[in-house]
């Protein structure tokens, strides 16, 4: 099953597969995106989930706090696409 990711900052739309890791999907399609560890420990890949659903994989509380999660932030490296998404890269 395929979904569409809309990137607000770039006015871009990408087609991705269900359960694809958001960061991997963005990088594979040529989107420039900040990242470092790719394992949920550093927080470099934080972005704002404006709409849609992701399944989050395990990550460090130091990388993404409860308060940040409540504000709609996610870690792109630990987020599996579950629906059409709207994301904002600049936080």
Q: Specify the pLDDT at position 89.
A: 87
Q: Consecutive 10-residue runs of the chain (91 residues): their mean pLDDT?
A: 95 96 96 93 96 96 94 97 94 61
Q: Specify the pLDDT at position 91.
A: 61
Q: Specify the pLDDT at position 46.
A: 96
Strand ranges, E, within 1-91: 2-7, 12-17, 46-51, 54-56, 73-75, 79-81, 85-88
Q: Specify the pLDDT at position 38.
A: 93
Q: Specify the pLDDT at position 67.
A: 95
> How many domains would you assign to the chain?
1
Q: Specify the pLDDT at position 8.
A: 94
Q: Specify the pLDDT at position 60.
A: 94
Distance CA 45, CA 37 (A): 9
Question: Looking at residue 31, which CATH number applies to its domain?
Answer: 3.10.20.30
For 58, the domain range is 2-9+18-88
């Amino acid at each position: 099953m395929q979904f569409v990711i809309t990137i607000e900052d770039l006015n871009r739309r990408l087609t991705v597969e269900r359960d694809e890791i958001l960061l991997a999907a963005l990088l594979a399609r040529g989107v420039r995106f900040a990242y470092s560890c790719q394992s949920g420990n550093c927080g470099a890949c934080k972005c704002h989930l404006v709409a849609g659903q992701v399944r989050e994989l395990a990550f460090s509380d130091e990388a993404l706090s409860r308060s940040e999660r409540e504000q709609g932030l996610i870690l792109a490296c630990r987020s599996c696409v579950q629906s059409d998404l709207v994301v904002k890269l600049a936080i």
